[in-house]
Chain A
Amino acid sequence: MIMETIIEVSHLKKYFKDVKAVDDISFQVEKGELFGFLGVNGAGKTTALECIEGLRKYDSGTITVNGKMGIQLQSSSLPAHIKPMEAVRLFSKWNKAKIGFTMLNALGIKEIEKKQYIQLSTGQKRRLHLALALIGNPDIIFLDEPTAGLDVEGRVSLHEQIRKLKSQGKTIVLASHDMAEVENLCDRIAILNNGNIAFCGTATELTDKIGEKYFIHIKTQQGNSTFETDNIEDTLISLLNDLKQKEIHILDIKVDRGTLEQHFIEMARRETK
């Protein structure tokens, strides 16, 4: 299958005085792809996205975007007393776009149409901003930390919407600091660290690169302990046997694949080896 490049970023640099917010990054996004930008706060995700979106000037490099953009910013707001449908009408008239009532219903805008912006919850505001980003029926949708501040239900609902958009053939660029979110949703991931791309590829390629690393967290009466392992079964059995022999009572036990920070540490450790 021939892939069509819809976004091409080459040697993009954006400095704020001495701070290298984005330092010579290059990548491509293919049409219909869900591309994740992953990184801790301050890694340069938002700055890079805003340069691509045309909202921020950059120092050097080239950016090519072949399609109509819809943008949901990380921090965005509307006048306190505006009602959701008034905002929708305002933006649709400026973009000379027809209002997609199916999309609005799917995002639950109808349910909140009588409320003023100031009265909306964080989740409702996020949904409204997503609806505004989708008004012009864009080819490419930029979502910057779309689930930040949402409860579990809100996150699940927004993830469903994102998957639905992808199934409609939209190209989506998603910035997040939540590894699980990006891993679950995205076809490819770019990990940003201090303005550089530390990794760009699929989740499987990332796992191959860092290895099958797991973290076992055990809570006992004596305190909390975390163990790193490549083999859950063996390590878990040996830990449980060890604790049983020492007659230490386990209060809680949890196994996870590690936080983004833990993987960064692991990647950095391997690179310095």
Chain B
Amino acid sequence: MKGFLYGVALQWKLDIRSKSLLVTCYIIPLIFFLLMGGIFTSVMPEMGSTLIQSMIVMSVSMGAFIGLPPSLIETYGSDIKKGYKANGVPIYLGLVTMFLSAFVHLMITCIVIVLLAPILFEATLPTQLPFFFLALAIYIIVSLSIGSVLGLTVKNQAKLTMIAQLVFLPSIMLSGIMFPIDLLPDFLEAIGRIFPASWGYRLMLDNGFCFENLWYLIFIFFAAVIVCGIVLKKQKAK
């Protein structure tokens, strides 16, 4: 247990030292929030009621799909994995510590958004904060589980950049955070529903925490856990 806890704390420190995670988990999401928060609320003042949820979906998608997978490739696509294995460290440690560390980083970014949005843009705070934070935690976990699948299954950084964009862009364009989802053509709305962002967004809205918005996220999470388990088992067997 000591080793595991030290591993998580160490990973958190390593993430801070790594500029790429700092950029994808903090700098870009917060710059996006500051710019788009101002634009959204001045062009469409009614967006103030969903600004926090929208900015959180963007930030989490950025951190989970663009930030986490390269760190996983660095470990699982290189000799680091062999080094861990040779020194008696279980193969899952890298994944679990990176996952937990990214969870903490994204939660911090989201809390900053929740705190600043009402002050800077007169955004409305969620009325049921405990449910909101529960929904937020679930959404971050599900997004990170997809990021984990990307990081474990894609073998090189160049391919990953392309594939991560295929998940990231529809997540923010078709989830309803930029504009109402009912303005989209039916087929784009259907495509948007494949990605967890639209489900997570609805789950975080006031009165949105219900099984109807939750089941798909649970399904995606367990599917991702199974895929990660299979990939790690294969890597161990090699």
> Hey, which bits of chain A sit against chain B, CB under 8 A?
53, 55-57, 71-73, 75-82, 86, 89-91, 93-96, 116, 129, 132-133, 135-136
Contact = CB atoms under 8 A, between A and B. Distances in A.
B87 A71 contact: yes
Nearest to B80: A77
Contacts of A90: 3, 6-7, 10, 89
Contact of B3 (A57, A93, A129): A93
Given A55-B86, A80-B18, 12 more contacts: A72-B86, A73-B83, A73-B86, A78-B83, A79-B74, A81-B14, A86-B10, A90-B6, A93-B6, A94-B7, A94-B90, A96-B3
Contact of A91 (B75, B89, B90): B89
Contacts of B89: 90-91, 94
A129 B17 CA distance: 22
B86 A53 contact: yes
Nearest to B81: A77
B159 interface: no
Contacts of A136: 88
24 contacts: A53-B86, A55-B85, A55-B86, A56-B238, A57-B237, A71-B87, A73-B83, A76-B80, A76-B82, A76-B86, A77-B78, A77-B79, A77-B80, A79-B75, A80-B18, A81-B14, A81-B18, A86-B10, A90-B89, A93-B6, A94-B87, A94-B89, A116-B17, A135-B87
B2 interface: yes
Nearest to B6: A93
A75 B82 contact: yes
A76 B3 contact: no
Given A86-B10, A90-B89, A81 B83 contact: no
Given A73-B82, A78-B83, A129-B83, A94 B3 contact: yes
Nearest to A71: B86
A75 B83 CA distance: 8
A221 to B, nearest CB: 48
A77 B83 contact: yes
A79 B79 contact: no
Interface string B1-44: 01100110010011001100000000000000000000000000
Contacts of A93: 2-3, 6
A193 B173 CA distance: 59
B86 A95 contact: no
Contacts of A79: 14, 74-75, 80
Contacts of A135: 87
Residue among A91, A95, A135 facing the most chain B CB atoms (10 A cut-off)? A91
A116 B237 CA distance: 31
B82 A78 contact: no
A75 B79 contact: yes
Interface in B50-82: 74-75, 78-80, 82
A116 B90 CA distance: 23
Contacts of B238: 56
B78 A133 contact: no
A90 B82 CA distance: 15
Most chain B C-beta atoms within 10 Å of own C-beta, residue among A72, A78, A135: A78
Nearest to B93: A94
Contacts of B17: 81, 116
B175 to A, nearest CB: 33
Contacts of B10: 82, 86, 89-90
Contacts of B237: 57
B66 to A, nearest CB: 18
A90 B94 CA distance: 12
Interface string B141-182: 000000000000000000000000000000000000000000
Contacts of A81: 14, 17-18
A96 to B, nearest CB: 8
B151 to A, nearest CB: 14
A82 B89 CA distance: 16
A82 B3 CA distance: 16
Given A73-B79, A79-B74, A95 B18 contact: no
Given A94-B3, A94-B89, A95-B88, A80 B79 contact: no
B225 to A, nearest CB: 23
